[in-house]
Structure 1
């Protein structure tokens, strides 16, 4: 009986640990609007893959009719936020806190404000920006982010058919470059695919080649 309880506790703990490392984003753009003490607030949440996506969206979303355009984004471990003229810490940071509170990544939330003549105070601004962003995210469909890492390896011509078959079987995205001495390969691997491919490379090349990590994780 004690053994079964211990096993169940271990299983539950394992499930919790796995869930903690699951990342989510939103499936598509969502918009939420509300009026707070005569000020109009509009939150727009969009999925983004990189900082260029952020810059592009903020550029096309510029609106000179707004009083403030405050935003926050998170991509992996990277975060940024902007108060756009509101008192420091009252707009961008509450938006970011809402993103992180929903355990989201690869997302940008922009909150536009049209001032209505009534001041909200520091606490009121925090609640307004954070609350509007939160209501917006409640409307969004959340989808799991699959972490991928860009890797590279090389092989000889007579080994390439083996690796090409393996990559295709695992539905791994890859590009190959034929050189004078063999084939250079760049691939995008899910985390669970890294170790098996690394072992395969060492086995086929008899330890001559190794899998190399190229950059920060990417997400699909």
Structure 2
């Protein structure tokens, strides 16, 4: 069972005069990772090391620290907490005392670990994208159903009706497919979009 974070969380600590700040945040895709790292770029830091995991895809960056002393220990804390769809960024402001490779591993991994301990973890529920269409008079019924179940969707109005794209939890797909069949009298089908 995989978990992710409910919200962003931060943790700071000083280790031998260096200040470490960890920020952990839930992310849905690589674009969200890029956007977060861009928004949190800080030129006052000495190093901005990070790691993320989305599904089976992982990336990490030592940002000038000795190879394997920052990104990998951060990733290890993510995986050690059974987390996915998570990015952890650890900023370091150098304080003049060298920590050595073992000290860096403990500092980056420890700071990331402390940060993740503060985070509220929620079970990650797999979602699938679906697409379907309906006529204008059917849309109100289906839209009400989507809103009741708090399903995220985007609608696009066309000359003939409405095209909808939605992100559904796996257990919501079949009931919506049946609802669409009923409302459209068998005319419309729910299509699952492969990522």
TM-score range, shorter chain: 0.7 to 0.9
8 Å CA contact 1:43–1:133 kept in 2: the answer is yes
Runs of 4 or more above 6 Å deviation: none
The aligned residue for residue 69 of structure 1 is 48
The aligned residue for residue 156 of structure 2 is 177
- Any unmatched runs of 5+ in structure 1? 1-19
- SS in structure 2 opposite 1:174? strand
Give the distance between the partners of 1:160 and 1:63, measured in 2 at CA. Answer: 46
The aligned residue for residue 89 of structure 2 is 110
Which of residues 121, 136, 141 in structure 2 aligns to 1:142? 121
Say how many residue pairs are matched. Answer: 194
Give the distance between the partners of 1:58 and 1:146, measured in 2 at CA. Answer: 25
Which of residues 96, 121, 130 in structure 1 aligns to 2:109? 130
8 Å CA contact 2:151–2:168 kept in 1: the answer is yes
Report the RMSD for the aligned CA atoms in angstroms: 2.9
TM-score, normalised relative to structure 2: 0.78
* 1:137-180 CA distance string (max 9 Å, x none): 22223344444333111234564455344334434333433433
- Any unmatched runs of 5+ in structure 2? none
The structure in which a higher percent of residues are helix is 1
Displacement of 1:91 after TM fit? 1.1
* 1:55-95 CA distance string (max 9 Å, x none): 34333433444332211122344332101112222210110
* 1:3-44 CA distance string (max 9 Å, x none): xxxxxxxxxxxxxxxxx24x22142331221314x5443322
Which of residues 137, 155, 167 in structure 2 aligns to 1:188? 167
Give the distance between the partners of 2:115 and 2:154, measured in 1 at CA. Answer: 39
1:79 to 2:71 alignment: no
The aligned residue for residue 210 of structure 1 is 189
Give the distance between the partners of 2:157 and 2:40, measured in 1 at CA. Answer: 44
1:120 to 2:105 alignment: no
TM-score, normalised relative to structure 1: 0.71
Structure number, greater radius of gyration: 1
Give the distance between the partners of 1:50 and 1:165, measured in 2 at CA. Answer: 28
1:31 to 2:15 alignment: no
8 Å CA contact 1:151–1:186 kept in 2: the answer is yes
Change (3 A) 1:199 1:35: same
Q: How does 1:30-49 map to 2 (within 5 A)?
A: 30-36=10-16, 38-49=17-28
The aligned residue for residue 155 of structure 1 is 134
